[in-house]
Structure 1
Amino acid sequence: MLTRIDLRGRDVDPRSLLPRAQLDVSQAVEQIRPVIDGVRHHGVDAIQEATERFDGIRPARLRVPVEALKEAEERLDPEVRAALLEAIARTRKVHADQRRTDVTTQVVPGGTVTERWLPVRRVGLYVPGGLAMYPSTVVMNVVPAQAAGVEALVVASPPQKEAGGLPDERVLAACSLLGVDEVYAVGGSQAIAMLAYGSRGSDLERELDPADDCEPVDLITGPGNVWVTAAKRLVRGVVGIDAEAGPTEIAVLADDTADPRHVAADLISQAEHDPLAASVLVTTSAELADAVDAELVRQVSLTKHMERIRIALTGEQSGVVLVGSLDQGLRVVDAYAAEHLEIQTRDARDIAMRVRNAGAIFVGPWAPVSLGDYCAGSNHVLPTGGCARHSSGLSVQSFLRGVHVVEYTEEALRDVAHHVVTLATVEDLPAHGQAVTARFPGDGAA
């Protein structure tokens, strides 16, 4: 079922040889640019028009009533409620330890620099609602933002026809459990534009129903489809964004000790998300690759979303990479930089600690990616498309800004003044130096 790339005995850079989903965000940018411009200029009217066009429904109001959030929580299945509360508790525990503390460094006597960590004031959290609904994504976005101390949290999620124009009820229930009450029934590129520009449009004096009045945010986080990704690219700079998320991906580095049933099940679990999802096995064992292929054929036929999974597994973005050693396997997975990387080998933790590039690493046979999706305590909003080479997943740090506070006494400034003047002169910025010497008139040393 999976295509094969044989790198055994080949000393080559694997980056251009590895399977990867083809996602043309640039083309999508041009297609949704009119939507973004429409929301920027016309606000709620453009949001409603785009929502009716793309989602087939025109909600009476953008903001979800608080009563609807509470009712969704009250109707929540007890087992789902218990599972969400457990996910929240574990995610809170991990993210609570990520909060940074302010640090003051004495550079010289009388001269200090304090690095303060300040939360973003207002954050927009996008929760997708396409092929699947994601109350777990509410947890993964909200918990680190709350741990960072973000003042205002705004959730946007697509309206559902079957829900009468509200977002999915489980998404609403998760918001209620987390104490988030500013939720908008807006999805896709128009949601990203609304979060970035607000819903008033260019007429800032316009009178709006409070239920339609969304104030712009400072940062947008959360995954989405190619249209959401394109919209985030267009508004980047107007607001901050966490990342340009692409289709989900899993890589498994395995040797002959791995259980083919486990490996196949884990590859299928991510293929279930989307026909563009990537599932890649990197292994030293051709026998394991054969066994996994046989298991995929058997297990895929038993899945609910069989056609979606089959398309993903047989697509150009998925495959098996045969390597001659685990050292070569490590070079391959570092080049691939997977969103999710499983290590199913002998001495799995030792191997995992040698990995440089991955969004999250799952060690051994009892830590499948699905655990991280829900209840490991880790975050499942992770870099895709090779971005793990330079970017991290969502965390408390995503919502914090480091601000340097500089305090110098007169004597401490006097002591370094001549160095400041020298460097300002070298850079031909004499006014920089004069801003220092003006404080010490008649002082030849300055």
Structure 2
Amino acid sequence: MAYYLLLNEKLSKKSIEKQRVFRDRTCLLDIVSDDDLYVNYRIDRASCFELIDVTRPYLQRDTKRSVSISTETQVLSTLRFFSKGGFYSEIGQLHGISTPSVSRILHATTEAICNSLDNIHFPIAMSEQRVVKEGLPQLAGFPRVLGCTDGTLIPIQAPTGDEEPAYVCRKEYHAINVQAVCDGNLRFLSVVSQWPGATHDATVLSYSALGQHLENNPVDGWLLGDSGYPNRSWLLTPIPEAQTRPEERYNTCHCKTRNVIERAFGVLKSRFRCLNKSTGCLPFNPAKCSRIIMACFKLHNFCISRNMPCPLDYDLNDDEYDDDNCFPVASPQNDGQSVRRNLTTTIRLIMEDVKAKARARKSNFSSFELDILTAEVAQNSSYLFGKLSAAVTAAGKKRLWNEIAEKINANANTKRDGDEVRKKWTDFRSSVKKKEMR
């Protein structure tokens, strides 16, 4: 009797055992289109394969039990979280893996990206500094700028323990205050991502390796910061309550040039929505959040180097245009007054030279040049006026306009650039439409 009872108990347990789930692990790269890949993962196909190749040594695992999760699936799952945020369960269902696997994969791939991509460097050599200084003044005429600096808040889950109050930022939510420096191409040159949200921007910069380097090693140039920083010989801030025309001109050029860091943060948070407050917050402890933030900054530079366009839903977060943190720091180190005073005169001379060059009018387009322009635009209209995507980029359009300008210059013996040719085509098309309406 006991035998039959024991056999019945075993059979009942076996009947309620959970069935083993065999998930479909078809690689999404084989079935997803180029446009969908860029919209959902913020990266084009060629760049995705390159990222998979550089992270493979850190992610590929040898196992004798079963087939391990491929490097492609690990990278795509992580990129999906970076670009959209969201729940682990949804990411797991999309890529054919379990929720615990998504959790393990995310942090392992984050570390792999941080270790394999080494593309955040502040220019130290004179040749590197020259490239940055030649790019930034083109924005507004501010000379010898080595970069623009500011801080941005990345919302995170409230940490536990006594350190929790230190992460409550001025906007009354838990965050990490990320300090960054960028150049005129929106490329980040320096990133510090481990300070609590309550820390002031000036404190983060002064204790960073970059701040210590610029303090102890004089350089031929300066950073631009907002009024929340002390005015130093290597860090120039706006003139408070400008009263003269040269001072107003200085502030205008300073604002237009420094705005590049706001745009860089806006593109970063639009490209990787996990950093944007619109998706909630990063649900990890501060150490893991810091690594995810650094990985996103490195991926942003990776996208810039690959000439990927800004996201189609690109917008500037309201946090980036807020001056709550722009109050002067109580610091005796304001040794940049004389530098700033001398620059007010220098910028006036630069602006006068720019205006003089703008007044030097070039000759009108000849009928021969217009014929070449019309023929080239008609041949390349689908790309020049197509919607931005992974295949049609803003950099590609600019390059094509420059090529059209070179063809015009070669045949008409002129010196026109791509911007001039594009403006002429816009004016020419507008004038033709007006004639047709009459």
Please tell me whether Structure 1 or Structure 2 has the larger radius of gyration of its CA atoms.
2
Relative to total residues, which structure has the larger helix share, 1 or 2? 2
Structure with bigger RCO (C-alpha 8 Å, 6+ apart): 1
